[in-house]
Amino acid sequence: MAKPIVLVMGANGRCGRCVVTALVNAGWQVRAQARAPIIAAVSVTPVICDASDHEAVLAAAQGAELIVHAINPSRYTASAWRHVLPLLDVSIAAALHSGALLMMPGNIYNYGRIPPGLIDRNAPERAETALGSIRIRMEQRLAQTPGLNSVVLTAGDFFGSGAGVWFDQVITAKWRKDVVQYPGPFDCTRAWTWLPDLARAFAAIAERRASLNGFHKWMMPSYNLTGRQLHQALQAAAGRPLALRPMPWWPMGLLSPVAPVMRTLWQMRASWQHSHALDNQELSRYLGNFTPAPLEQALNASLRDLGLLATES
């Protein structure tokens, strides 16, 4: 029996690389779109083109049963994110052309500067930041496109599979000085998602693609951790004591008027001051027995990816 075909858009990104690996392991024939030669540890069919190249993407989607839109701007600025909706439109057109299910990761930007304490599919959305407004419009585009079958899987803060933002550039930034630096109150809960888990969830949902009509949105089974719990888990991974210290926000606030990246991150400050968690019961019931990998395994792998732990022989 021929393997089903999937087109992964943004296959060289952190999320895209994990999705490629998970879908190959799940028995898919993967076409991997990227602008540069594909970085993959598994066998794929490369599609080297710009994600805005409508004709090239439609050709690559021919015969696909699944398209994963894993494109995400590398810079956290409103100017970088202005390209997001046009790129999503290309993936939507490709899904409609091929009849494929379109899947996309989501995040908590939709829920305002202070997200609800427990975020489920029906949580109110508030466009209080530029990135939040764009995220809301992306999901609306999926939900309101006639004839499109789509899934958004809302995740917590990403960690794993290379360098990112909060986990990599803040929390573990002073790792070699035996310090864990945390941006919020140590007793506030925050949702975290290990990227290989997200990719594995995409693969599990895709197995049920025949029954997925219209728009679906689920919360990703994630790690809902306080700063202290994350610190304790990182200490266990390190095998040595690590100090837990607050991240100073004042340099970011000082630079926010002149530095677009700092301005965007500064806007997220309030979300770090209040607890939130993802209510994943609906997806857990739908998939049956899906659970995240053990936290110790996820943290060890992530720290090795960053060169902060010795690679296993």
pLDDT single digits (tens) 189-198: 999 999 999 9
The residues, any chain, with a CB within 8 Å of residue 202's CB and separated by 6 or more, are 19, 22, 23, 68, 103, 153
- Is the pLDDT confidence value at 216 over 70? yes
Query: Crossing angle for the helix pair 14-25 and 195-206, nearest 10 degrees?
Result: 50
Residue 256 lies in a domain: no
Residue 104 lies in a domain: yes
The residues, any chain, with a CB within 8 Å of residue 33's CB and separated by 6 or more, are 7, 8, 9, 10, 11, 47, 48, 49, 51, 57, 60
Sort strands 150-154 and 157-159 into parallel, antiparallel or unpaired. Answer: unpaired
Sort strands 118-119 and 277-278 into parallel, antiparallel or unpaired. Answer: parallel
User: Cα 160–177–172 angle (5° rounding)?
Assistant: 20
Mean pLDDT across 149-155:
97
Residue 271 lies in a domain: no
pTM value is 0.93
Task: Give the pLDDT score at 257.
Answer: 78
Range of the domain at 138: 5-163+191-222+276-293
Task: Give the pLDDT score at 313.
Answer: 44
Of residues 290 and 144, more confidence is placed in 144
Pull the structure tokens for residue 57. 């993407």
CATH number at residue 61: 3.40.50.720
Residue 270 lies in a domain: no
Task: Give the pLDDT score at 293.
Answer: 95
- Is the pLDDT confidence value at 118 over 60? yes
Task: Work out the mean pLDDT of the chain and round it to a whole number.
Answer: 91
pLDDT digits (tens, 9 = 90+) for 132-151: 888 999 999 999 999 999 99
Q: How far is the C-alpha of 91 from the C-alpha of 102, rounded, in Å? A: 8
Range in 22-31, 48-57, 158-167, 231-240 with the lowest mean pLDDT: 158-167
Residue 232 lies in a domain: no
Give 27's pLDDT tier (boundaries 50, 70, 90). very high
Instruction: Produce one character per residue of 208-232: b if its CB has 16 or more CB atoms within 10 Å, e if not.
Output: ebeeeeebbbbbbbbbbbbbebbbe
Residue 31 lies in a domain: yes
Residue 308 lies in a domain: no
Task: Give the pLDDT score at 72.
Answer: 79
How many domains, in total, are found in the chain?
1
Mean pLDDT across 280-284:
89
Residue 249 lies in a domain: no
